[in-house]
Amino acid sequence: MTSPVFFAHANGFPSATYGKLFTALAPEYQVQHLDQHGHDPRFPVNDNWSNLVDELIHHLESAQQPVWGVGHSLGGVLHYHAALQRPELYQGVVMLDSPVLTLADKMVIRAAKRFGFIDRITPAGRTLGRREEFVDLDEARGYFAGKGLFRQFDPECLDAYVEHGLKAAGNNVRLRFDPATEISIYRSVPHTSPGRPQQLQVPLAMVRGRQSRVVLPHHAHLVRRVPNGEYLTLPGGHMFPLERPQDTAELLKKLFQRWSGQPSSEHRV
């Protein structure tokens, strides 16, 4: 029986946005996920995301067997922190354009929080004042299609974001992911970790989009300290799982097969 995949999404992008990626992993891997992290009042967003990690662990504990933890951006960090605390819940972790932070990174984030410039080094500043409501889904799709973040999206992924990322609001539609929650998540980005990379007891892969400005080459150093850690790349930017969902699924399958001891071609970069 194949172990399930538990997917954790990027901040602001409900899990259903990744439907094409999930379909591409089937039938070998069945994907489980939360619709939206950070929206359960039992686990409110707090500094360093410890409540969000607890939320993830809470749901992983109900799985009948260890999972392949796959997370994009925010989601990758949550899986990494959860695996440091509860390795028995995992077969392995894949971080899709999620960084394992260096000491220098953490010092900058801590200072940014303390001295009030965190909005300048995270997307929080760009999220403030962003348009939240639209006349209809067609207007919303046109709006997002013109934004740089979405410009390289696979068309089906953009359609999925419009379909699942918006909800009815009277006669209009508005963002489903609470904007205040999204901003709070950015502002509380971790400057601490529940453990060091070399303490991780499960395989870890960090997959960087080659044009990413979030994961940078220096982040590879810490991943290589993980006993079974590796650093990989795919074409695209920070949003590559939604730009190249098929390529992302193929890489994930090969990683899982290799970690399981099944024959697979190498993707190490």
Q: Could you state, in order of their start, the residue ranges of all structural domains in the chain?
A: 1-269
- Going by their DSSP bridges, the two strands 133-134 and 172-175 should be labelled as antiparallel
CA distance 177 to 186: 13
pLDDT, tens digit, for every residue of 220-237? 888 988 999 999 999 999
Instruction: Give the pLDDT of residue 63.
Output: 87
């303490």: which residue's tokens?
Answer: 199
Instruction: Give the pLDDT of residue 2.
Output: 67
Low-confidence ranges of the chain (pLDDT < 50): 264-269
CA distance 199 to 50: 18
Instruction: Give the pLDDT of residue 217.
Output: 86
Instruction: Give the pLDDT of residue 267.
Output: 40
CA distance 174 to 153: 20
Domain 1-269 is of which CATH architecture?
3-Layer(aba) Sandwich (3.40)
pTM of the complete model beyond 0.85: yes
CA distances from 92 to 32, 68, 111, 170, 229 (A): 15, 5, 32, 44, 10
